[in-house]
Amino acid sequence: MANGRILLFSSPALAARALQLADKAIAGGPQGTVATSLPIPKQMDVLCDMAQSLFLVNSQTDDSDGVLLDCIACLDDLLRATELNVPANYIAVLNTLAERLERNSEFGGFLAEQGIDRETVEDAIMWCIGAIAVKSTWIG
């Protein structure tokens, strides 16, 4: 985070630059200094496949690989960092779906049972993506 914005970068090679730009207290250094001893990642640590997640929501009934659950968790982490408030109907849908996916990868029948429209799930994910994009800075 830098000045209330998430620092995003497309390559692990840019991690050092992100740490230089990060807010001092958040960067992990002692007493508000930038941490210089943190290991810089050499490869991607987290994959949040938003396109695949939207495909699953729109046309599939199962998240056996955990792609959708991982996406919801990642969006949740990023939204917490931005301190943005997600509309109540969207957070309720995403929380309900995430709780289901933690116990059972089948979600198509669950959505129908709960009366949750797939379009609402898609709208919730897309709202989150947009909010995160607006509160982010890309390092290139």
Residue-wise pLDDT for 3-23, tens only, equals 989 999 888 888 888 888 888
49: exposed, middle or buried (Cβ count in 10 Å: 0-12, 13-18, 19+): middle
Does 60 reside within a domain?
yes
Cα 23–chain centre separation: 20
95 and 130 fall within a common domain: yes
Residues 6 or more apart whose CB falls under 8 angstroms from that of 38 comprise: 19, 28
Are 54 and 104 part of one and the same domain? yes
Instruction: Tell me whether residue 26 is in a domain.
Output: yes
Q: Whole-angstrom Cα distance, residue 139 to residue 115?
A: 41
**Domain membership flag for residue 27:** yes
Residues 77 and 127 in one domain: yes
Structural domain total, the chain: 2
- In whole angstroms, give the CA distance from residue 64 to residue 48: 15
Tokens 């210089």 belong to 36
State pTM to two decimals: 0.84
Same domain (yes/no): 55, 35: no
Q: What is the mean pLDDT of residues 96-121?
A: 98
Counting Cα atoms < 13 Å in the Cβ hemisphere of 94 gives 27
Query: With contact defined as beta carbons under 8 Å apart, do 2 and 133 qualify?
Result: no
The domain in which residue 62 lies consists of 50-135
For the ranges 30-39, 110-119, 131-140, which has the lowest average pLDDT? 30-39
Residues 65 and 38 in one domain: no
**Residue 111 domain-assigned?**
yes
Note whether residue 140 is domain-resident. Answer: no
| Predicted pLDDT at 6 | 93
| pLDDT score, position 16 | 83
